């Protein structure tokens, strides 16, 4: 009999939802899933095609933005009230789903939703709790009740916390043996296109914590040495934040065509850009895993990454496995990143083809969809 799993997930275009789609494909026939999410964007079409039942329930993260500006200060009480209000009233709706579906496992696909933890205790159902984000560091949010309180909840006997990296495991004080890396691509189905174009790529959500301002300024300084390259920024952005970035660009008197804001791209469009980019740059100040790093490697793209948790761990995994670097690390500063871009261009991208090949070996070892599905299914079987 398939294991009945109730999933709580954001339901957007987030990495967590991409990982869930991978998991549902890998475990098709082995599990009977039901999905609960506050947003339909990104998942609804997939679930309808797979004939997987789902419900939309408005819920809020059990965290609120930190007070870092006057605007945050003004709206903090309202955001706190809404977070508490939604997370109180959704319990009734979720209880009804649990009674009707009768799951063997409840799986919270992110750490920011806490309602499933309470209900799993109430009904005596094992709770798998995926830990994918630092919250305070990578998203600039304050965990309601504090981080220590969340760590206490994770240690409850009914919970099985699943961190996605060693950094996350240490941050939440959970065993490193519980780590399950994200599944990126099927085994041996990797792409390598030696025909590269003259642009650097950023792919992901465009906001402060992603280090995009450092990237833009670094590229502006790089153009003073070589103006034949472009920077493509593929991802969602607010108009206000784009204006801040444009001020940096105008300060260097750069031609607007040198830095292109492409907006949100589909997974297929992003993968196509990765295959032909000179390199992808991942400048995040903190990444729990850095899914885009592994995706770029799988698609034959050189990675220039800030040597920070998540990204560093992937580079270290590569160094341990192959005995060589599988990307170019830099240390947060504008000049260091600029010098890495200059290094790649001066050496020629062909110089880094062996690095790309080594990086694909690492993805094939640690981050395949098959290994991801096998590991999570083993957890279900052991907790059921």
- My answer on whether 102 and 208 are in the same domain is no
Does 192 map to a domain?
A: no
Does 121 map to a domain?
A: yes
CATH code, domain with 161: 3.40.50.2000
Does 236 map to a domain?
A: yes
Least confident span in 35-44, 92-101, 222-231: 35-44
User: What mean pLDDT do residues 170-174 have?
Assistant: 93
User: What mean pLDDT do residues 76-80 have?
Assistant: 56
Which string of b and e fits 183-198 if b means at least 16 CB within 10 Å? bbbeeeebeeeeebee
- My answer on whether 220 and 160 are in the same domain is no
Task: Give me the pLDDT at residue 93, please.
Answer: 85
Is the overall model pTM greater than 0.75, yes or no?
yes
Task: Give me the pLDDT at residue 348, please.
Answer: 97
- My answer on whether 260 and 236 are in the same domain is yes
Is 81 a residue whose pLDDT tops 70?
no
- My answer on whether 123 and 219 are in the same domain is no
* Boundaries of domain holding 41: 3-183+368-383
Q: Note whether 113 and 7 are within 8 A (CB).
A: no
Count of C-beta atoms within a 10 Å radius of residue 92: 9
- My answer on whether 170 and 262 are in the same domain is no
Does 40 map to a domain?
A: yes
* Residues 6 or more apart in contact with residue 213 via CB below 8 angstroms: 244, 245, 248
Q: How many domains does the chain have?
A: 2
Phi-psi domain of 310 (left: phi exceeds 0; alpha: psi -120 through 50; beta: other): left
- My answer on whether 272 and 220 are in the same domain is yes
- My answer on whether 246 and 280 are in the same domain is yes
Does 190 map to a domain?
A: no
Q: Could you tell me which residue, 94 or 335, shows the higher pLDDT?
A: 335
Q: Note whether 111 and 129 are within 8 A (CB).
A: yes
Task: Give me the pLDDT at residue 366, please.
Answer: 94
């Amino acid at each position: 009999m398939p294991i009945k799993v109730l999933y709580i997930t954001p339901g957007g275009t987030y990495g967590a939802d991409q990982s869930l789609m991978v998991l549902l494909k890998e475990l098709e026939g082995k599990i009977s899933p039901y999905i609960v999410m506050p947003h339909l964007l990104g998942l609804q079409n997939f679930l309808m095609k797979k004939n997987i039942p789902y419900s939309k329930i408005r819920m809020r993260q059990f965290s609120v933005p930190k007070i870092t500006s006057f605007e945050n200060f003004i709206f903090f009480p309202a955001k706190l009230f809404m977070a508490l209000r939604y997370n109180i009233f959704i319990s009734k709706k979720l209880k009804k789903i649990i009674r009707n579906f009768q799951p063997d496992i409840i799986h919270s696909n992110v750490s920011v939703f806490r309602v499933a933890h309470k209900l799993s205790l109430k009904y005596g159902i094992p709770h798998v709790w995926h830990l994918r984000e630092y919250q305070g560091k990578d998203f600039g949010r304050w965990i309601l009740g504090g981080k220590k309180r969340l760590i206490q909840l994770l240690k409850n006997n009914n919970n099985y916390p699943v961190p996605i990296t060693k950094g996350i495991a240490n941050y939440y004080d959970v065993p490193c043996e519980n780590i399950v890396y994200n599944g990126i691509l099927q085994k041996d189905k990797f792409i390598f296109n030696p025909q590269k174009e003259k642009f650097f790529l950023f792919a992901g959500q465009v906001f402060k914590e992603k280090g995009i301002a450092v990237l833009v300024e670094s590229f502006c300084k790089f153009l003073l040495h070589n103006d034949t390259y472009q920077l493509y920024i593929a991802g969602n952005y607010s108009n206000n934040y784009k204006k801040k970035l444009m001020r940096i660009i105008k300060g260097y008197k750069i031609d607007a065509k040198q830095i292109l804001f492409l907006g949100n791209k589909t997974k297929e469009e992003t993968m196509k850009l990765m295959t032909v980019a000179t390199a992808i740059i991942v400048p995040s100040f903190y990444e729990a895993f850095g899914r885009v790093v592994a995706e770029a490697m799988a698609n034959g793209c050189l990675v220039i990454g800030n040597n920070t948790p998540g990204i560093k761990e992937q580079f270290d995994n590569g160094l341990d496995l192959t005995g060589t670097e599988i990307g170019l690390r830099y240390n947060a500063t504008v000049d260091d990143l600029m010098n890495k871009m200059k290094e790649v261009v001066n050496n020629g991208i062909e110089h880094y083809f062996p690095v790309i090949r080594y990086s694909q070996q690492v993805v094939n070892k640690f981050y395949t969809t098959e290994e991801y599905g096998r590991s999570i299914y083993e957890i279900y079987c052991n907790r059921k």
